[in-house]
Amino acid sequence: MTARNRARGIQNLSRGLAVFCILAAGGCATHPSPPVVANAPEPKVSSSDLRGLSLQLIQKMEAEQKWYAAISYLDRYLKEWPASDQTDLLRARALAATGEPAQAERYFRRVLGTPLAAQGYQGLGLIAARGGDITRAIPLFQRATREDPTNAGILNDLGYAALQGKAWNVARNALFRAGELAPQDERVWSNIALYYLLRGDSFRAQQIMGAHDFSWTVSQRIRREADQMTGVPTPTGDHPSAAAPAPSGAVMPAFPNPPLTQLFSSGNAGPATEPRSVP
Q: Does some domain include residue 132?
A: no
The H or E element that residue 52 is part of is helix 47-63
Whether the link from the prior residue into 258 is cis, omega within 30° of 0, is yes
**2 found inside a domain:** no
In a domain, 278, yes or no: yes
State yes or no: cis peptide before 115, omega within 30 of 0.
Answer: no
225-257 pLDDT per residue, tens? 999 988 877 555 444 333 334 333 333 333 333
Burial status of residue 214 (CB atoms within 10 A of its CB: 0-12, 13-18, 19 or more): buried
The H or E element spanning position 193 is helix 186-198
Q: Give the confidence band of 32 by pLDDT, cuts at 50, 70, 90.
A: low
pLDDT of residue 235: 59
Q: Give the per-residue pLDDT at 51.
A: 87
Digit-coded pLDDT (tens) for 152-170: 999 999 999 999 999 999 9
Instruction: Flag whether 116 is in a domain.
Output: no
Is the Cβ–Cβ distance between 176 and 188 less than 8 Å?
no
Residue 15 within any structural domain of the chain: no
Quote the domain boundaries for residue 262.
Answer: 152-279
Is the residue at 170 inside a domain?
yes
Residue 49 has pLDDT above 70, yes or no: yes
Q: Could you tell me if residue 255 is inside a domain?
A: yes
Question: Taking the mean position of all CA atoms in its chain, how far away is CA 106?
Answer: 23
Q: Residue 148 has what pLDDT?
A: 97
Asked if residue 217 is part of any domain, the answer here is yes
pLDDT of 277 above 70: no
The chain-wide mean pLDDT, for the chain, equals 77
Between 31 and 99, the more confident residue is 99
| Strand stretches in the chain, DSSP E | none
C-beta separation of 140 from 128 below 8 A = yes
Domain count within the chain: 1
Mean pLDDT for the stretch of residues 246-270: 35
